[in-house]
């Protein structure tokens, strides 16, 4: 391998392949209806695309508890039941403020919704909508999350 190719590998290509993944926790918020389950989608604050509530780890909280807290802060969810084990996971690239991409592995926890509050920390910053799992799968951008939604 030439010095130039070795330098490209070591400085550019290799770090891209070996980038460590950060971890987030997401809440798959569900309710039962006469027509089957519905998924709560919210819009992201920056791009307005459809997502499920998610966030970075929180001190003193495990993954399920973090997902529950994110569901409250981002969507006003008051849970009836919280799944303690992930129902799946998906990956995506989080675009940071400097324009770089950070690979993220997101563990998804089921949250059965008791009710939605009108007043919650990010009220007015996001739109919430109940949709069928199929519609949710069609709206989200992450293929692995879409697959989780299609299998509900």
Cα dist from 112 to 33, 47, 103, whole Å: 12, 27, 28
13-17, 40-44, 51-55, 132-136: range with lowest mean pLDDT: 13-17
Give 59-112 pLDDT, tens digit per residue: 999 999 999 999 999 999 999 999 999 999 999 998 888 988 889 999 999 999
Other C-beta atoms closer than 10 Å to the C-beta of 23 total 14
What share of the chain in percent tops pLDDT 70? 88
Residues 125, 139: Cα–Cα separation, whole Å: 19
Q: Within a 13 Å sphere around the CA of 81, how many CA atoms are in the beta-carbon half?
A: 7
Burial class (CB in 10 A: 0-12, 13-18, 19+), 127: exposed
Q: In this model, does residue 16 exceed pLDDT 90? A: no
94: left (phi over 0), alpha (psi -120 to 50) or beta: beta
What is the SS3 string spanning 22-69? EEEEEEEEEEEECCEEEEEEEECCCCCCEECCEECCCCCCCHHHHHHH
pLDDT band at residue 2 using 50, 70 and 90 as cut-offs? confident
β-bridge mates for residue 102, sequence order = 94
């Amino acid at each position: 391998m030439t010095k130039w190719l070795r330098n490209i590998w070591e400085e550019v290509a290799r770090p891209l392949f070996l980038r460590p993944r950060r971890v987030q926790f997401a809440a798959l918020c569900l309710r039962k209806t006469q027509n089957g389950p519905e998924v709560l989608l919210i819009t992201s604050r920056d791009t307005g695309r459809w997502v499920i509530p998610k966030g970075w780890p929180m001190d003193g909280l495990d993954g399920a508890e973090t997902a529950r807290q994110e569901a409250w802060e981002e969507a006003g969810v008051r849970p009836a039941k919280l799944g303690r084990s992930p129902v799946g996971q998906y990956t995506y690239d989080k675009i940071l403020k400097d324009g770089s991409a950070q690979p993220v592995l997101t563990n998804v926890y089921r949250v059965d919704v008791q009710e939605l509050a009108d007043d919650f920390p990010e009220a007015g910053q996001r739109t919430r909508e109940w949709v069928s799992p199929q519609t949710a799968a069609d709206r989200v951008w992450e293929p692995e999350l879409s697959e989780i939604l299609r299998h509900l």
